[in-house]
Amino acid sequence: MARISIDKALSWVLRHSGQLHPGECLDLLCKKRNRLIRVVRTKEGFRLEERGFFKEDFFTQGGKEFQKLLERLILREFPRSHMLWAFKRRA
């Protein structure tokens, strides 16, 4: 569990997502913890779950597509946030 700046959230997730084993996930939550982006490692790639303003699931293999999608979700879910809670756990 850590508090990270929204400016460093994308690089934090990209750095830690490479170390995930299938079945593990990374959670990004706003201060009130009512909005969430979850990155779940699967055997095929990554599943991104968005729970907050929108409730959607996305599947990606990784790479540039993963980075662009994650960047878009962070901007959409946390428009006014400056700090986020970050967790690494089992899905």
The mean pLDDT value for 39-58 works out to 96
pLDDT of residue 38: 97
Does residue 70 sit in helix, strand or coil? helix
Q: Tell me the pLDDT band of 73, cut-offs 50, 70 and 90.
A: very high
- In the numeric block, the tokens 């293999």 are attached to 61
Spatial distance between the Cα atoms of 43 and 12, rounded to a whole number of angstroms: 21
Residue with tokens 């460093």: 8
| Structure confidence at residue 62 (pLDDT) | 87
pLDDT > 90: what percent of the chain? 93
Sign of torsion, CA 77 55 14 24? positive
Burial of residue 3 (number of CB atoms within 10 Å: 0-12, 13-18, 19+): exposed
Per the structure, the count of domains in the chain is 1
Beta bridge partners of 58: 48
pLDDT 10s digits, 1-28: 799 999 999 999 999 999 999 999 999 9
Pairing status of strand 24-29 against strand 83-90: antiparallel
Q: How confident is the model at residue 29 (pLDDT cuts 50, 70, 90)?
A: very high
Residue 37 belongs to domain spanning: 2-90
| pLDDT reported for residue 1 | 76
Q: Whole-model pTM?
A: 0.91
